[in-house]
Amino acid sequence: SREVLEFSPVARWRQVIEQKKKKELVGALYMYKYEVSTMKQKCQMQKTL
């Protein structure tokens, strides 16, 4: 049971790190989509002018 207690915080850390990675990845993807959509809007505006 001691091994489990010692291992537990490490597992918790890994979970936290994975969650952070996922959040950062989602954030980066969201920013990318936002940039692409604004670029498209700018292109459309230039075409109409």
User: Does the pLDDT of residue 27 top 80, yes or no?
Assistant: yes
Q: What's residue 3's pLDDT?
A: 60
DSSP 14-41: HHHHHHHHHHHHHHHHHHHHHHHHHHHH
Q: CA dist 25 to 2, 31, 33, Å?
A: 35, 10, 12
Q: CA dist 5 to 2, 10, 15, 18, 40, Å?
A: 5, 10, 16, 21, 53
Q: Work out the pLDDT band at 9, boundaries 50, 70, 90.
A: confident
pTM, two decimals, is: 0.54
